[in-house]
Structure 1
């Protein structure tokens, strides 16, 4: 009997424990560069519940702001002026609640003299960034049951999410400052579902190991009977 138990222990060591492996599936959509402020709807595939059990949803939002900024200081003294060009992008659920936001931002510092007498966004008291751009990115991971229900269905399907971009530019540094901004923004969204597959098929190597273990157990049992 001891030999049989020993053989069972050996077989157990030869047979690896199997566990479900996480899998992922992703959907993406993009909003082209457009003048802020804008709101649009992007379309994504829902998680097909026949694939398995959903464990998390990741929302990746990346965006770009592009544009120019001008400034003229009317101060009677020299000043350091910062122009910041930005766009606040937000991804929302169908009910309007926020999922994730990002704020691509470009900044440039100018050393202006006292007002030179001409409001032309040039000379010694004014300046321009020219056409510039900046990128930003952020993500949110949900394991909320309500999101799982909202973003999944048997057979999949589609869901529309809101994406909006609001100009978020500013000029600081002088008490009397004239500014002009022109911004456009674009956005890209990636929705990734992580799930446990509905069923795991054993690998051929695993099946072979199981067969070897069972064969060893049978051989030990036959030997034990002969010795009895």
Structure 2
């Protein structure tokens, strides 16, 4: 009985870990252009950047500090919330990204699914030290807008997301954890 129970627990834990294995982090380190600057390619990282005006650069430039590597992306002087939109090809769970920039600037994520606003993150004040801004939403989205009061005054790095079809719903996760708890109780009594 105990070996079966251990097998069930190990299999469940492995399945939960595997569901998070498809997480992706876009570091922008591989976008190289003339003089260290380049537009983010239309389908970079499997996402749709065609409606945005993001550019990548790798040259050191304070306070636009990269979180990892050298690459990060920024908006131009003509950047707006509309031109900061990043679209996912399929519904996706968006985790967040790292930001750095001038202290006068702040950023927030607005998250959309099928054209409807489904969530917004907290607002992050910036500095030269990169800070993570979590999306604040655990459901699926198909578009992320980086909302800011000063779009040309920040950079974004390590954009993190995962396939929504492989992330367990909170109710499913609760059931699995409850089952593991009951299995532990049964083992203790047996």
Shorter-chain TM range is 0.3 to 0.5
Larger radius of gyration between Structure 1 and Structure 2: 1
TM normalised by structure 2 equals: 0.38
Higher relative contact order (CA 8 A, sep 6+): 1
Report which of the two has the higher share of helix. 2
Q: What is the TM-score with the length of structure 1 in the denominator?
A: 0.33
